[in-house]
Every structure is written in C-alpha cells, then in structure tokens.
Amino acid sequence: MAASAGATALRAAGLVIFRRHGDKKITEYLLMQTSYGNHHWTPPKGHVDPGESDMETALRETKEESGLQRNSFHVVDEFRRELCYDVFSVPKTVVYWLAELIEPEPLTPIKLSAEHQAYDWLQLEDACSRAGYEEMQSLLREADAFINLRL
Ligand SMILES: Nc1ncnc2c1ncn2[C@@H]1O[C@H](COP(=O)(O)OP(=O)(O)OP(=O)(O)OP(=O)(O)OC[C@H]2O[C@@H](n3cnc4c(N)ncnc43)[C@H](O)[C@@H]2O)[C@@H](O)[C@H]1O
C-alpha cells in the first residue's frame, strides 16, 4: 500500500529465506523484484494486518508472495532484526526472521504473485548488490555471519 504524508507509522514483517546446497554448502538468499514502483528487490514481506502478530504476517506474506508453505522452511527464531526507514516521509519498520529452505528447487518451487515479476537465489555479495539499500545489506551480512557461525 502506498504511504502518504501524515499517515501513521507503517509496519511490515517477512522472512530472509536462504538455502544451502552442494558439498560446500553454499548459502543463497531469496530476493524478489517488485512489479511496481522502482522494481526494487526484497525478501518476502508485507504489511502487518490489524490483529496479526509480526510472525503471522511474515508467514502469510511469504506464502502469498513466494508460494512457500510453512512446512517448507525452518524459521531461525534466534535471528530477528528490524529495519527502519522512511517511505514518503512516513517511518516504516520491517521485522525479519531468518528461515532456511528445507528442500531446494525443483522440489520446492517458487510461485510469484502479481506483486513480483522476478526472483533469484543469490550469494551474499550479489544479494547485497541487488538489494541496494544499506540497511538491507547490513542485515544480509549479519545473517550470513550468523549462518556461518551458528547453523
Ligand atoms: N509505487 C507503487 N506503485 C504501485 N503499487 C505500489 C507501490 N508501492 C506499493 N504498492 C502496492 O503496495 C502493495 C505492497 O504491499 P505489501 O506487500 O503488503 O507491503 P510491502 O512489501 O511492505 O510493500 P512495499 O513494496 O511498498 O514496501 P517496501 O518497504 O519494500 O518499499 C517501499 C519503498 O521503500 C523503498 N525501500 C525499500 N527498502 C528500503 C530500505 N531498506 N531503505 C530505504 N528505502 C527502502 C522502496 O524502494 C520503495 O520505494 C503492493 O501490492 C503494491 O500493489
């Protein structure tokens, strides 16, 4: 939903989905490109509906935007981060958890909704470059360090 000046703060939630594959367990992140606006790339996420918890939103939006069902990934509860930025002068907070895909494609295909026009699985540096915004790059780097050290 597009924000307007004077509106109340925006809140959204989503999942930084990653997969590890091959003998070297290379980590790749799922980013999706919006079919509107400036066609930016983000992990699956969306606005928190009234009465919904952040986690409920993250799971719902992930399913709606990527087709990934709750049983196709493990949520990493210990990794929760908030991004804060302004959208048309309205402050927005986005809560992200990490989540690991259990079975890579083609067993678990990504099914985009009309909100996105493309998706990609990207290693850290490519994901940072594609995501663009500094805060998202920092989050991806923190996530990558967490995966390497703790998972
Ligand atoms: N321009 C547009 N034209 C037509 N329909 C639109 C639209 N914007 C939103 N919509 C509609 O809104 C719906 C989205 O709803 P949801 O799917 O529920 O919500 P969202 O992912 O939080 O939306 P959005 O893409 O706006 O959020 P983001 O913060 O990434 O992005 C919001 C802005 O913040 C920027 N941004 C993203 N991440 C940032 C960051 N880390 N730092 C600074 N700016 C950032 C983005 O480039 C973008 O400009 C879509 O169905 C679409 O129909």
- 3-state class (DSSP) for residue 147: helix
Q: Pocket of ligand 1, candidates 40, 41, 65, 130: which has the most ligand atoms within 8 Å of its Cβ, to mutate? A: 40
Domain ranges for the chain: 10-150
State ipTM.
Answer: 0.93
What is the tens place of the pLDDT at every residue in 53-106? 999 999 999 999 999 999 999 999 999 999 999 999 999 999 999 999 999 777
Question: Which pLDDT band holds residue 6 (cuts at 50, 70, 90)?
Answer: very low
pLDDT in the model for residue 134: 98
What is the tens place of the pLDDT at every residue in 22-63? 777 899 999 999 999 999 999 999 999 999 999 999 999 999
How many angstroms does the Cα of residue 39 sit away from the middle of ligand 1?
9
Ligand 1 pocket at CB < 6 A: 1-2, 12, 34, 36-38, 40, 42, 45-47, 83, 85, 87, 92, 115, 133, 135-136
How many angstroms does the Cα of residue 14 sit away from the middle of ligand 1?
13
Please give the angle made by the CA atoms of 141, 66 and 85, to the nearest 5 degrees. Answer: 45
Helix, strand, coil % (nearest 5) of the chain?
25, 40, 35
Q: Pocket of ligand 1, candidates 31, 33, 34: which has the most ligand atoms within 8 Å of its Cβ, to mutate? A: 34
Determine the Cα–Cα distance for residues 55 and 15; give it in Å rounded to an integer.
9
Determine the Cα–Cα distance for residues 102 and 112; give it in Å rounded to an integer.
19
Determine the Cα–Cα distance for residues 115 and 131; give it in Å rounded to an integer.
17
pLDDT top residue among 23 and 10: 10
Determine the Cα–Cα distance for residues 143 and 124; give it in Å rounded to an integer.
9
DSSP codes, 66-82:
H---GGGEEEEEEEEEE
Determine the Cα–Cα distance for residues 73 and 7; give it in Å rounded to an integer.
35
Of the candidate CATH numbers 3.40.50.12780, 3.30.750.200, 3.90.79.10, 3.30.420.40, the domain formed by 10-150 belongs to 3.90.79.10
